Every structure is written in structure tokens, then in C-alpha cells.
Structure 1
Amino acid sequence: MYDDRLDVPGTARVFDESGEIVQTDHVNLYPMPSLDPEDPLNWSKGRKWIFLSCIIWYQFVVNLQAAVLYAIYVPLSDETGLTLDQLNAGTGYLYLFIGISAIISQPLALGYGKRPIYIISTFACALLNVWTAYIPSNSQWIGSRLLLGFFLSPAYALIQVSITDVFFMHERGLPMGIYALAIYAGGCMGPILSGQVYDAMGWKPIIWLSTGLTVISGFVLVFFLEESSFIRRTTAISSLTNPEDQYEGVVAHGGDVNPAGSASSSEVGKNIKMDNIEAGVYNVNRQYIQKVSLPLNTKWHGPRFWKFSKPHPQAQAIIIKTVFQCFMVLRLPAVIWCGVTLGVFQAFYNFVSALASGVLAEDPYNMSTSAVGLTFLSSLIAAIPVAFLGGPLADWYGLYCAKRNHGISEAEHKLHLWLICVILTPIGLLMMGLGPYYSSHWIIFVLGCGIINFVGTFGTLLAVNYIFDCFHEMHPDNPDSPSAAAQDAAPYLLSAVLICMVFSFALSYAITPWCFEWGLRNFGISSAIIFTFILCSTGLMLIYGKRMRKSGEGYYKKIINW
């Protein structure tokens, strides 16, 4: 039966409904997988988690490498002659180029496969890390940061897309939470490692150790990472009463693996036994009804390191369309809001990184480099519960709200949890600023860093989930066009990441004067007011979010059909 309540992107039925009250706990599969056993949505749980482990490990390692020098910026400045301002500015260029380069690396992954992009990124980051040990000037420092940002970009935009490749909408909370943890865990473990190694051996061995770890990780991806790019072709199926006829109709309109080059579902589907057909009915986007037992739970085949993707036949068109779409979606309120809030959480991470050495290594604390590095444990520990509890909490709360809403899920439901971020943000920032200003015990500053990292991890999880829920299930009218593949590149996420990284770049020039020249007291108070005010903007999304999603649907459809 047609339901006009589902006519808004980001609004989906996730529970079956009987009358006006939900009577069942059966969750619909959303998006609906094809009947191809190699469709990533049809992978077994074990196979999905092997894939997730690979991309999360990649995320952790490259973030560790990018952050490995943060705890030693003060001694590094003394040994290299680069000022603290120049080191922080280099970090700003790093994040700026991450945002710009994502517009290139993302469509390349769609055109030529995600697996080769991950592998190239890992080995390139290792080579650039070696260059860091031989930097004689500020210009080379900035140059190395720009190139590192280019090859780091898949870690900030491609992983979220890869997660949606293999996990259903109601399963994404935990994987997204672990992804958010990996961002901050890598950023925290880098300074912890560097602090210990510096006191024992100096700063260059830090480079060799992190480079070795990155190279090993590259070989892990070569042997264990699978390709997740897949184009799922589904068309409307007329009402069929014969299960056998319906089965054949579904197979005929199945999916083709692209760009991996595997057999199409029309070829492999015929080998699936009719035992897979059951009475369960899945109503998806009012386009078709399938009476097939899905997913198929195909197991991992084992290492197949020699198998790489075939380029998409329309790869160049995909790249061009994705780049243009990224800029065209910048007028959508949800994209702007997500980009700004992600920029806030990136700012939190930058604050912790920039302040730790400058505050704790000086009076009144006078900590050693290794001790400064160990204080990042607070931030790491704070992020762990978000990964393992925040994701499931968001999933559970989203399903709970859907049940109360007659089985219909709204993209804004999970944003109710944003209140946690709004409450904790001023507390953490005030502790980071006022604690050292009044010479309080160092634990005040360190706990403040932990609170801010908790907020950043949880807020990142909620913001990324929201932007995907709003736009990811919208598809161009022609499923065979380059626009269809370009939509899989998540242009809305690329735009949000670009806004985030430009925000971070601009902030990199303000961190040192804001924190140290204007005074930690003023920094703590002003940052608490500014960032709490920005995060309170989620109230506007809760009130007007669905209305803006509906009004922007026509414009977004024009973009993805361009």
C-alpha cells in the first residue's frame, strides 16, 4: 500500500506495520540486496567484519602516522628550527588538502575500485613519512604535509562509504562508532608512542617505527581487503502470485558487480536453490516486493591478493560528475550543517594536539615529553565507550523512535542524542582553559581533553550517520549512467568533509594566538561559548530538518541526474 509519509529522503520504513500500531519486531532490509552472492550486502557477518577490520586498521594506522609528532612539537621546534606556529600551520595545510583531495580520491575509488585506492594510500603515506625525517626548511615541511594530506584523504571520506557498501542501515551504528574511534585512537596513540620513543632514542626513530607499521599495514590490505564496490540494479516488479515466477523476475533485475568484474546475478542467481524463498514480504521504497530469503550470507573466500578491480567503463565521466556534484550540493542545509559540526569536532582534536605540549611541558607542570605523550591516554580511553556503546545506542534509539512512529524512521531521530554533546562541550573546554590558568592539578586539563575527545567521537558518529541517512538511498533515474556511480561516491559527504577541513585549516592559524597569546582563561571561556552555540544549532535540524530534506529533494535529484 502506498504511504506518502515515505516521500521524503531520509524517511524510511524499518518495521512492518499492522494497522496503525507496529505489531512486529521484524526489521526490513534497507537497502535491499540483490540475489548475487557476491553482493557485499549478502556477505556473511564474518566476511563483513574481516572487511571492516581491514579498513578500520587502515584508518587507525594512517591517523597514527599523521599525529605521531604532536607530542614532541616543542622539542622538534628546538631541533629543526621550525617555530611552533610553522608546525601548527603545517598541520592546517595537511587537513586542508585532505578535504580538497577527497574530491579526487573518492571518484577515483568509484571508477577504479576502492581496494587499490586504500593500498596506494597506505604505501604512499609510508614513503612520505620517510621524507619527514629529512626536512630542512618550512617550505618542505608544508610540502610534505600537502602531499600527506592528498594520500590521507581516503581515511576521511571513503571509509564511511565502504561501511554503507556492506552493512544495512539498521546495522551501521557499531561500525560507524568503531570508525569514529579509529580516527581519534590513531590520533591519540601517535603522541603516546612518540613521547616514549623520543625520551629513549630521539625524534627520528619515531619516523622509522611509524613507517614500518604503515608498510606492514599495506601488506595486510593486499592480502585481506576485498573490493566492496557494487552496482545494484533493481527495477519495479509487477504483482506476481507464483513464487517461482517472482523469483525469476527478481533475478532478471538483479545486480552487477562493478568494477570488480564478477558474474552478474542473472548468471549466478539461477544456481540459488528455491529453498531460499520464504513467505516474508519486504516492501522497499514502494518499488518492488520480494519474497526471497535475504541476505544470502556468502562466506569469505580467503586471501585473493592477485584479484584487482576492472576499471569502470565510464570512469572518467564518474570523476567529472563527482567533482561538480560535490560543489553543487553545498547549498543544501543538511550538508552545510554537517560540515560545520564536523569542523567543530576536528577543532576539538586540534585543540588537544596543540595545547598538550605547550601547556604540560611548561610551568607549572614541566612534564617530560614521554609524560606529555601519556596524557593522550585520557583522550583514547574517552573514545572507547563511544565506539562500542555509542553506535549500538544510536541504533537502538533510532529503532525505538521508529517503533513509536508507526515503524517509520526519520533521519533526525538519532540527533536527539546530540544533547549529550551540547552539555559536555563547555565543561571540557572550560577545564582545558581554566585548569592550567589557575595552576590547578594537571588532571583537570587532562580530563578536559578526555571529555572533548568523547564529544568529538560521539558527535562525529551522529553527524556522519545523519548525512548518510538523508541522502545515501537517493538514486538517479538511470541506474546505468555515470551519475549512478557518482552518487555512490557520496558527494554530500565530500562536501561536508571539504567544509570541515577548510574550517580546520583556518583555525590552525588562530590556535597559537588564541590559546597562548590571548591567555588560557580567555580561550577557555570564549571557546566554550562559541562552540556550544554552534552545536545548539542541532535544535534547528530537529525542528526543520525534515522540511528542509523535503524541499531540497528536487534540487538534489537534479544534481544526481546531471
Structure 2
Amino acid sequence: MGFLGVLEDKHLLHVPATVVLDERPAQENDPGRGEGLKHGTGRHSHIVLVPQPSDDPNDPLNFSPTKKLTMMLIVGMGAILYAATIAPLLSPGLVVIAMEFQRPIGDITVISGYLLLVVGATGPFVSACSRKWGKRPMFLISSLFGLVGTIIGSCANTYDTLLTARIVQGFSISAFESLIISMIGDMYFVHERGYFMAMTQFVLGAASNFSAVICGPITANLGWKYLFHIFIPFAAVECVMLFLFVPETQFNRDRRYELDEISEDGAQVTQEKKESQHIEALEPSRPSIPPAKTFWQQTAVFTGTYSNDNFLQLVIAPFAVCLNVAILWIVIVSGMSVAFYVAQSYVMAQIFSAPPYLLTASGVGYLSMGPFIGGLLGAVFMGVVSDPLIGWASRRNGGVYEPEYRLLCMLPGVLSGLGLMLFGHLCERQASYYVTATVHGIDLFGILCIAIASSAYGIDAYRDMSSEIFIIGMVFKNFVFYGFSYFVNDWTATAGPAQVFYVFGGIAFAMVVSTPPLFIWGKRYRSHWHRHNLLEKLHIKTHAEM
């Protein structure tokens, strides 16, 4: 039995995704283990790099830290604009827009519902295209859709034109909501991912609250059309920055380097590397390492084909990965937790614009400071704790890292259920909106812990399917969002917020309680999946099998 109760597998000597992370305790048990493998630098010199970077300077793992950070900041800005801001853009002004168009508030909510429906429907195609032709074209095309949709919205004078604008904007979201997460796996090693996962989930899950703080006053003082007018220059700059400074991160790396995806142990991989080096010495005619691409070569929109699979297989793949029970758990837990937070945003204007609160669009927007601060604290907490925690657990496990250690950070997720229930209870009792905003922040703290821990587990345990995991997760949650847009407002009006959020809170508690079985038996299930991979039996491949 491994540290903290992770059960050892009885069938494979080395289970995929189980890797030597800390060389010091590992070498005490096996002095030759890790010899010949590349390590981190400075204070991370004892850390074995997983996956192993190739010798190709164009390998994204070999990009300089500055270049990686620049790329993450630019794509992160795209995620803020498209994945975090566009969907809730109109939320603080729902009542204002409904009055202008003389429509029920439910009709205005459904406009955003259609946007989310487009996001969910385009997800599998974004996944397939990114597998086939890379992530860069998807980011560029998506940003153009966002810019065009925003221009249409700035000219909208009718309900139908606004609906058209939101549908076009919907095509901009899928890439920035899902591919940014798998991009972390393209560029960063296992011991570096926790911080970037935390920041990314903060952007996707909490930054939208700050947009509500800004959008509320804009709607109240300038009118809702200025939300689109002001958005246009940001969208235009994002397009230019993406084109110039975000090269392709999709990379077909030799399988020998993927220590977290293969079933050989470190000694065998080391031996293979030694043998390959010996062969290279005997074969001077062997092709040399390719030169690094120039700046302008890296700005190419299409850089080749990364998969020989037919397009239909690639479209089906995100749905097929749900045959893996652990992945299905990740999709449901991360998707539903974020869906509960979105349900809160749907009813904010409905609850706080009515008596006894009677808040304006600005006031409703300011209430989002509570969840924004809660989400920020959650992201900082996970960014500070996540990677050191897996390092601590790995050292006590003989230097061996198990992806299940990422699930330890699910524990603060209990705050999500508690916060959701308290939010509904306090709104029902018409408590101070300062108190409700504080509780809203508490539940988002817990929701972010759930989303970050489950997503980090997915990218570490099943990195070969990471793009499909986050695409299907995005599809799932956006269809849930769309469904919520049809009934949450009416349910809240008829049953009251207490009943609604008691139900949501209970489900959130249940999801957290479902974690221990996966933590204990997760390694054995990874072994079972490797030996009985249903995707291989169905001839549906993911990128590691290309």
C-alpha cells in the first residue's frame, strides 16, 4: 500500500502516470534509479522532469520560462475575455435589457443560454481540429469570432440582433475554455502545473465575477451597448497578440520521453536512452536535431498535421473518453460544481433587484466582489498548496508520485456545499447583502478547490487524453448551463432560493464525498484501463497513440 492508502497494483510493475518525482528518497531504495534522465535546475535539481523534454529546441517543454509565461498570459487574457467575460456580460443588466425590449427576464436569460448551447455544440469540433491541425489555429479563429460577435452586439437595436451577436460570440469560447488547460500539459512539467492550473481555474471560475463588478456600473451609467463598445478594442488587441506571440504547442514527441504515459519503469527508459545515444554515436548519418524556428516561422497559422486519424474519430473521441470511469467522474464533478456557481449568477439580478433589496444594475454587479475575492483566495490557496503538497506526499512515498495525491486538495471543497446552502437560506430570510456576498465567496472558494483538484488529477493521471477530458467537460457544463437557463429563474420564483440551493448544496457535498474511493483505488483503475483500453478496442485514438 502506498502513502495515505493508495492501493498498489498487482498486474503492472509500473502503472502509467506513476513516476519518480523526487530522486533523493527514490535513490535510497534503488541507487541507479533516474540515472540518465533530465532533472530540474536550482532548488528543483532533485526533481525528475516529467515528461522528459526532447532535444528538439521546438519542443514546447524546451521553451524558455519567459516565453512560456508570455504565452500563458496572452492565452489567459483570451480566457478572461471570452471564457470568463462574454457569458456573464449581460447578467447585471438583465432587468434593464428586459425592460428595454419589453420581454420577460427569462427571455433575456435564454439569450445567454443559446450562447452556452453553441459553446457546448462546438466543443467536439474544436477538439478534433486542435488534434488534427494544432491549438494555434483554434485560438486565432475563436478570437476572430469573438471580435465579430462583439461588433454585431455593439450595433444591436432589436432582440433578434442581440441574439445573433451572442450566438456568434459563442463560437469564441470553446478553445479558450478547454484548450488552455491542456496547453499547460504541453509546456509544463508535472511539478510546475499546480500553480498554472490554479490560476487558469481562477480565470475560468472566478474572474467573471469581477467582470460583473465592471459591467454593472457601465450598464447603469452608459447603457448596456457600451459593454460591447468597450469590449471591441480588447478583442482586437488579443487577436494581434495571439498571432505574434503564441506559437503552436502541439508537438509529436517520441514516446520514449513520455514517462507519465508509458508502462516501463525509469530504469528501462534510462537504458533505452543510453542505447539510443550509443546508436547515435555509431551512426553519424542519422538526422541531426532540427534548428529552432525563427520568429516569423512561428507565426504560421497552420504548422502541419498532427494526427492521421480521420476527422470523425477525433470528433467522437471526447465522448468516448467517458467510458473511463475516472474521467467520467472528473467531468461530472468539475462541471457540476461550476454549474452551481453559474446558477447563482442567473438569479442574482432576480433576487437583489426585487424588494427588499431594490438594487440597481450597479449594485447587483458590486455584489460579485464577494465571490471574486473568495475565488481569488481559493486560487491563491491552491497555487501555494497544490505543488508542495504533492511533493510532500511523493517524498513520503519513496519519491514516487501518484496522481491521486492531487485529490487531497478536494477536502476544502466541502465549503462549496456549505456555502450554497447558506446562500439560499440567507436570501430566503432576506439577510444583509453583505452577508450573502460573503457566503457567496465561501462557496466559490470551495468550488474552485474542487475544479482545480479534479482537473489537475485529470491532466496528471490521463495526460494522453487531457484535451478530450477538458473538451467534454466544457461540453457537459455548458449544456448544464443551458438547461439551468430554462428553469432556475422560474424555480427560484416559485419555490424560493432556499429550496433551490439546499438541493445544489447537497449535490456538492455528495460529489466531495465520492472522492475517497477514487483516491484509494485510482491507481489500480489506471492499470486496468491501460490493460483494457476501450478506446483501443473501438479504434478511437488519442494523441499519445498517434
Are the structure 2 counterparts of residues 114 and 415 from structure 1 closer, same or farther at C-alpha, using a change threshold of 3 Å? same
Does residue 118 in structure 1 map to residue 128 in structure 2?
no
Q: Judge which range, 91-100 or 72-81, deviates more.
A: 91-100
- SS, match of residue 401 in structure 2: strand
Asked if the contact 1:15–1:25 (Cα under 8 Å) also holds between the matched residues in 2, the reply is no
- Cα distance in 1 for partners of 2:118, 2:70 equals 30
Are the structure 2 counterparts of residues 121 and 265 from structure 1 closer, same or farther at C-alpha, using a change threshold of 3 Å? farther
**Aligned letter for 1:129?**
T
Aligned to 1:191: 212
- Cα distance in 2 for partners of 1:548, 1:524 equals 34
* Structure 2 length-normalised TM: 0.84
What RMSD, in angstroms, separates the aligned Cα atoms of the two structures?
3.1
- Cα distance in 2 for partners of 1:137, 1:499 equals 31
- Cα distance in 1 for partners of 2:435, 2:285 equals 63
Does residue 439 in structure 1 map to residue 430 in structure 2?
yes
Are the structure 2 counterparts of residues 93 and 10 from structure 1 closer, same or farther at C-alpha, using a change threshold of 3 Å? farther
Does residue 458 in structure 1 map to residue 449 in structure 2?
yes
Q: Judge which range, 552-561 or 342-351, deviates more.
A: 552-561
Q: How does 1:62-77 map to 2 (within 5 A)?
A: 62=82, 63-77=84-98
Q: How does 1:492-503 map to 2 (within 5 A)?
A: 492-503=469-480
Are the structure 2 counterparts of residues 514 and 246 from structure 1 closer, same or farther at C-alpha, using a change threshold of 3 Å? farther
Are the structure 2 counterparts of residues 531 and 234 from structure 1 closer, same or farther at C-alpha, using a change threshold of 3 Å? closer
Question: 1:366-396 CA distances to partner (integer Å, 9 max, x unpaired)?
Answer: 1221121112122222222333331341111
Aligned equivalent of 2:124, options 91, 98, 103:
103
**Aligned letter for 2:487?**
A
- Cα distance in 1 for partners of 2:55, 2:449 equals 35
Aligned to 1:257: none
Aligned to 1:41: 61
- Cα distance in 2 for partners of 1:526, 1:4 equals 42
Aligned to 2:398: 406
- Cα distance in 2 for partners of 1:251, 1:441 equals 76
Aligned to 2:461: 470
- SS, match of residue 196 in structure 2: helix
Aligned to 2:38: none
Give 1:42 deviation, angstroms: 0.8
Aligned to 1:324: 316
Aligned equivalent of 1:31, options 51, 62, 67:
51
Aligned to 2:266: none
Aligned to 1:279: none
- Cα distance in 2 for partners of 1:213, 1:547 equals 47
- SS, match of residue 493 in structure 1: helix
Aligned to 1:387: 379
- Cα distance in 2 for partners of 1:376, 1:69 equals 13
Aligned length in residues: 504
Does residue 372 in structure 1 map to residue 372 in structure 2?
no
Unaligned runs of 5+ in 1: 254-263, 269-297, 475-486
Aligned to 1:18: 27
Aligned equivalent of 1:555, options 520, 530, 533:
533
Indicate the percent of aligned positions where both proteins have the same amino acid.
21
- SS, match of residue 300 in structure 2: coil
Asked if the contact 1:342–1:497 (Cα under 8 Å) also holds between the matched residues in 2, the reply is no
Asked if the contact 1:35–1:265 (Cα under 8 Å) also holds between the matched residues in 2, the reply is no
- Cα distance in 2 for partners of 1:84, 1:266 equals 61
Q: Judge which range, 167-176 or 86-95, deviates more.
A: 86-95
Are the structure 2 counterparts of residues 378 and 146 from structure 1 closer, same or farther at C-alpha, using a change threshold of 3 Å? same
Asked if the contact 1:12–1:409 (Cα under 8 Å) also holds between the matched residues in 2, the reply is yes
Q: Judge which range, 152-161 or 385-394, deviates more.
A: 385-394
Are the structure 2 counterparts of residues 4 and 168 from structure 1 closer, same or farther at C-alpha, using a change threshold of 3 Å? farther
**Aligned letter for 1:56?**
G
Aligned equivalent of 1:426, options 417, 420, 423:
417
Aligned to 1:416: 408
- Cα distance in 1 for partners of 2:348, 2:14 equals 49
Are the structure 2 counterparts of residues 241 and 216 from structure 1 closer, same or farther at C-alpha, using a change threshold of 3 Å? closer
Are the structure 2 counterparts of residues 550 and 306 from structure 1 closer, same or farther at C-alpha, using a change threshold of 3 Å? closer
Give 1:151 deviation, angstroms: 2.4
Question: 1:266-299 CA distances to partner (integer Å, 9 max, x unpaired)?
Answer: 344xxxxxxxxxxxxxxxxxxxxxxxxxxxxx9x
Give 1:457 deviation, angstroms: 2.2
Aligned to 1:245: 278
Aligned equivalent of 2:504, options 527, 541, 558:
527
- Cα distance in 1 for partners of 2:296, 2:273 equals 40
Aligned equivalent of 1:60, options 80, 83, 96:
80
Asked if the contact 1:237–1:250 (Cα under 8 Å) also holds between the matched residues in 2, the reply is no
Asked if the contact 1:69–1:190 (Cα under 8 Å) also holds between the matched residues in 2, the reply is no
* Structure 1 length-normalised TM: 0.82
